[in-house]
Copies of this chain bind each other. A is one copy, B any other.
């Protein structure tokens, strides 16, 4: 008779814990990401987690930084407008793949290495393109506001879509009270995520146009 099966030793590492945490959050949502469930995902008992990570706070910081690590870092040798557009689309895609990330980012106080490196790359692109310090500050604030704000709206929209369709939502509310929202739903403008997604490209070009004007104004 062999010894009873037991989780093999040295099978766990900080990186693996973080990877499994991301996987669990993607699959089941942030609410299910508990130390106990994470341990299950790693095939280990809850207390084993604490040998690779100081606690839940560190895990949350780490999975946020893991999302930033997936995002394209803009390059100084390319045209700044295309590089920042590519970065912006990449942010939106990453936040779409990990819908829990945005809510988490907001509450975290300790930015990780990938987070800092991403900011650094964006600032470097703007400064290298000749944006003054003032212009860079405004430009980065406006671009990031648009990108993260758009992702925020998509996250909220996706959550409403989960149970009832937008149609049902609108029908459930007083049509006399909210005629414009009804118009939007019936005209299929908000019907699916695709129509809304089209606004991202439109908005991105408008914001990049605005950055060009900023570059000139704060020279």
Residue pair A150, B149 in contact (C-beta under 8 Å):
yes
Q: Does A207 contact B (CB under 8 A)?
A: yes
Chain B residues near A117 (CB-CB < 8 A)? 177-178
Chain B residues near A149 (CB-CB < 8 A)? 144-150, 152
Residue pair B142, A199 in contact (C-beta under 8 Å):
yes
Closest residue of B by beta carbon distance from A102: B106
Interface residues on A, range: 35 or more
Chain B residues near A152 (CB-CB < 8 A)? 106, 145, 148-149, 152
Chain B residues near A148 (CB-CB < 8 A)? 149, 152-153
Chain B residues near A23 (CB-CB < 8 A)? none
Q: Does A116 contact B (CB under 8 A)?
A: yes
Residue pair A123, B160 in contact (C-beta under 8 Å):
no
Q: Interface centre among A127, A138, A160, A162, by most B CB within 10 Å? A: A138
Residue pair B195, A206 in contact (C-beta under 8 Å):
no
Chain B residues near A155 (CB-CB < 8 A)? 106
| Distance between Cα atoms of A214 and B160 in the complex (Å) | 27
Taking the closest CB of chain B, its distance from the CB of A170, in whole angstroms, is 10
Residue pair B141, A203 in contact (C-beta under 8 Å):
yes
| Distance between Cα atoms of A200 and B103 in the complex (Å) | 22
Main DSSP-derived SS at the A contact region? helix
Residue pair A199, B156 in contact (C-beta under 8 Å):
no
Q: Which segment of A4-12, A65-73, A180-188 sits at the interface?
A: A180-188
Chain B residues near A203 (CB-CB < 8 A)? 138, 141-142, 145, 210
Q: Does A109 contact B (CB under 8 A)?
A: yes
Taking the closest CB of chain B, its distance from the CB of A118, in whole angstroms, is 11
Q: Does A168 contact B (CB under 8 A)?
A: no
Q: Does A216 contact B (CB under 8 A)?
A: no
Closest residue of B by beta carbon distance from A182: B120
Residue pair A180, B124 in contact (C-beta under 8 Å):
yes
Residue pair A202, B109 in contact (C-beta under 8 Å):
no
Chain B residues near A134 (CB-CB < 8 A)? 189
Chain B residues near A16 (CB-CB < 8 A)? none
Q: Does A159 contact B (CB under 8 A)?
A: yes
